[in-house]
């Protein structure tokens, strides 16, 4: 029997939004973040390398974090960056190993991306908004030092977290059929 109704998972995937502003200034519990991560880490990852680690910036540390982060920007951007880094209620910074082996790096980044998507979907299901950011500071060696990254580690992104007032409207997506081709063999067997 065919069921044309979208599944609960399909609904969550389609309804999830990136929440960039409009946070409610409610603390994000560390326990919730860990609960979500403990499910999110079931993302596919080659050879079960689990190429991630996490730095959580809780709500109560956010103001000092914002001040430290803003210091890594030019003076003319300082006030803007203070405001920017104080917008979310908390942060989850995703750290991964770097690699000179492109194949391994791509596999690890794919795994980290899958894990982040899992986390964002699980967070959405619980009413916790997030947006994945890869601003220039993720590449700044001074930020790496501030966050205690080890040699060879890199930042895959900052997840801005917070409970939110209202979700932004969704944006349409190009139907898969418009980007879909079927391989046709060039030879007969």
- Note whether 21 and 131 are within 8 A (CB): no
**pLDDT tens, 20-35?**
999 999 999 999 999 9
Which strand (E) or helix (H) includes residue 154? Answer: strand 153-163
**pLDDT tens, 145-179?**
999 999 999 999 999 999 999 999 999 999 999 99
How much of the chain is helix, strand and coil, in % rounded to 5? 45, 15, 40
Mean pLDDT value across residues 80-98: 98
pLDDT, position 11:
93
pLDDT, position 182:
97
Residue 97, phi then psi, degrees to nearest 5: -75, 140
Which strand (E) or helix (H) includes residue 12? Answer: helix 8-15
As a whole number, the mean pLDDT across the chain is: 96
pLDDT, position 5:
85
Residue 181, phi then psi, degrees to nearest 5: -130, 160
pTM of the model: 0.93
pLDDT higher than 70, residue 1? no
pLDDT, position 16:
96
Q: Put the strands of the sheet holding 53-57 in their side by side order.
A: 53-57, 90-97, 153-163, 128-133
pLDDT-based confidence at residue 189 (cuts at 50, 70, 90): confident
Mean pLDDT value across residues 128-145: 97
Which strand (E) or helix (H) includes residue 36? Answer: helix 30-40
């Amino acid at each position: 029997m065919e069921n044309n109704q979208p599944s609960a998972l399909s609904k969550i995937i389609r309804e999830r939004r990136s929440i960039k502003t409009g946070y409610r200034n409610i603390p994000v519990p560390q326990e919730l973040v860990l609960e979500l991560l403990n499910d999110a880490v079931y993302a596919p990852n080659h050879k079960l390398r689990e190429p991630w680690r996490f730095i959580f910036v809780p709500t109560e540390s956010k103001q000092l974090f914002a001040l430290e982060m803003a210091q890594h920007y030019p003076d003319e951007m300082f006030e803007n960056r203070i405001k920017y880094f104080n917008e979310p209620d908390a942060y989850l910074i995703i750290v991964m190993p770097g690699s000179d082996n492109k194949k391994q790096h791509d596999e690890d980044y794919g795994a980290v991306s899958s894990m982040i998507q899992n986390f964002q979907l699980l967070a959405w299901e619980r009413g916790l908004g997030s947006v994945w950011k890869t601003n220039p500071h993720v590449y700044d060696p001074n930020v790496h030092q501030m966050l205690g990254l080890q040699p060879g580690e890199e930042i895959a992104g900052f997840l801005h977290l917070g409970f939110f007032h209202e979700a932004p409207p969704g944006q349409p997506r190009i139907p898969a059929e418009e980007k879909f081709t079927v391989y046709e063999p060039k030879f007969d067997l």
